[in-house]
Structure 1
Amino acid sequence: MEKEYVDKYYMTDVDAFEDSIYCHHALMGDNHIEEHQHKKGQFLYTEGGVVFLKTSDKSYFLPARHYIWIPSGVKHSIHPSSSHVVMRNLYFPKYETDTDFFDKINIYPVNDLLIELIMFTNRWNGNIFPVEEPKYSIAKAFKLILPELSQSELPLALPYPQHEKLKNIVSFLEKNISENVGFKDLSQRFDISERTLARLFQKELNMSFIQYYTILRMLTALRLLLDEKISVNEVALRVGYSSLPTFSNTFNKVIGIRPSDYVKHQNTLL
């Protein structure tokens, strides 16, 4: 049984010792973690639901079988989608051998080897100091091997629009996710030309409408699969796909695994 999450633990323990590796495994319960930052880089893996991680400009969706790397100094808040979410955190100091992989925030799928390594860290909680060998070397190796095991980053994040009309458009898409909203219909509904709307998405969000809309639908599908435990077919309909094969293919292209396989493997560590 995981212990209840200790609110604001990161304010004190994580950065208390510059050279330590800090481990924290806990059940989130009904808590969320307010905006904060660490001097250490953070590896975050979750089980039992989706976690929303918010920075100043993006909202990241962290589902099961994926982890997020958060570089040192990045302000973020963490919001679990359910009280059953378990967070597994490892915080690492900077090393001279660090590559630019550790300078950017990204989400990556977790393969079987990394799953085994995460399971191994279950025995750790709190600070691990360099004098604690071989424990420290094992924990350090966990960080050093991440770039090798994380070749494919996933676009599981959506930027925040600043333009008022685009905010309304994005809100409409979220509220009507079960409809297959067409680009032309969207431009007519909000009285904006298709050309202007296309430029607005590209300028504000650095992606096309279809890219944004597809990611929004797939992230919603992830949440439904994890939190509501409904069938893949029902999820497809709930995010606007009348064709199950089309939904499955799109899900696989974005998430890297078919929805039916994702459901089978989501509770690997539970």
Structure 2
Amino acid sequence: MNTKYYLTEVDKNPLSIYCYHNLMGETFIESHHHDKGQFLYTEGGVVHVKTKNRIYFLPARHYMWIPPGLQHAIYPSSPKVIMRNLYFPVPTNAGRFYYKEGIYPINNLLMELLLHTKQWNGDIVKSQRNKFTIALAFKAILEQTVSRSLHIELPQATDHRLISIIKYLTDHIHQEHLLPELASRFSMTDKSLYRLFKKDVGMSFIKYYTQLRIFKSLEYLMNSDYTISEIANMIGYISLPTFSNTFNKVMGKRPSEYRKSNEIYLED
């Protein structure tokens, strides 16, 4: 189905639960919002979800809850990415979970129910008793089994100078960048660049840069053609142990453990 077409269909029936599964290919979904809350699950790579203020890095085998009305765009990291979406009406008295975006690991119960829905597409309405009951149960289980949101996100820069600097860092992620050299390249002093990061994105250069590198490595870890050592080099780490230790601090597990725990098995 055409992406623009399906986005206009999501809210046509305000009482339905809308289901949409697809292989994204090279496409991206332009900035939009919907009245329903969105459960977004991905396989095969990382999906970037961009809101006005943040960039979320949604890794395979995780889901993101996108609350009603939140403006967002979706960019896949690979043509192999599969997205599985369920859109739910959210009443105004719903729990806090449904009104806050977040990224969460998927549990086995949700995975089984999601597998059950993978042949569904379009509106699921009350008269479809079997499907509707399962979809409602899925929504309830989301809130009841939710764990702490994973902070796999970076703030969006607003200062034009910092936007250019972050683009440079992203485009040259394979190189190691130090604050003094970066400041010099953009005709700034060390102190002024440090202050700019703190003021505009609310974190230090080293924290932002470290997270940018680690989040980028998530995309490469989904590609089994690269060894862990090669991935370390691809994001500018000369030392494999340094990369592994840093990855563990940010993600809570080693790169090899992460790769093993995120093998794809949700096939069409």
- Report the TM-score, using the length of structure 1 for normalisation: 0.88
Q: Is the 8 A contact 1:82 1:227 kept in 2?
A: no
Q: Is the 8 A contact 1:81 1:227 kept in 2?
A: no
Aligned residues, how many? 266
Residue in structure 2 matching 1:238, options 231, 234, 241: 234
Give the CA deviation at 1:229. 3.1
Give the CA deviation at 1:23. 0.8
Residue in structure 1 matching 2:9, options 1, 9, 13: 13
Q: Which residue of 2 aligns with 1:214?
A: 210
Give the CA deviation at 1:84. 2.0
Residues 102 and 122 (structure 1 numbering): CA distance in 2 closer, same or farther, change over 3 Å?
same
Residue in structure 1 matching 2:221, options 213, 222, 225: 225
Q: Aligned equivalents of 1:114 and 1:268: distance in 2?
A: 14
Segments ≥4 residues shifted beyond 4 Å: none
Identity of aligned residues (%): 48
Residues 46 and 196 (structure 1 numbering): CA distance in 2 closer, same or farther, change over 3 Å?
same
Residues 113 and 249 (structure 1 numbering): CA distance in 2 closer, same or farther, change over 3 Å?
farther
The reply to whether residue 262 of structure 1 matches residue 258 of structure 2 is yes
Residue in structure 2 matching 1:77, options 73, 79, 90: 73
Give the CA deviation at 1:102. 1.6
Give the CA deviation at 1:175. 2.6
Q: Which residue of 1 aligns with 2:186?
A: 190
Q: Which residue of 2 aligns with 1:132?
A: 128
Residues 251 and 113 (structure 1 numbering): CA distance in 2 closer, same or farther, change over 3 Å?
farther
Residue in structure 1 matching 2:36, options 12, 29, 40: 40
Q: Aligned equivalents of 1:83 and 1:203: distance in 2?
A: 36
Alignment of 1:143-158 (within 5 A): 143-158=139-154
Q: Aligned equivalents of 1:250 and 1:149: distance in 2?
A: 29
Q: Tell me whether 58-67 or 85-94 shows the greater mean CA deviation.
A: 58-67
Give the CA deviation at 1:126. 1.8
Residues 214 and 150 (structure 1 numbering): CA distance in 2 closer, same or farther, change over 3 Å?
farther
Q: Aligned equivalents of 2:185 and 2:2: distance in 1?
A: 47
Give the RMSD, CA atoms, in angstroms: 2.2
Give the CA deviation at 1:227. 4.7
Residue in structure 1 matching 2:84, options 69, 81, 88: 88
- Give the secondary structure class of the aligned counterpart of 2:45: coil
Unaligned runs of 5+ in 2: none
Q: Is the 8 A contact 1:109 1:152 kept in 2?
A: no
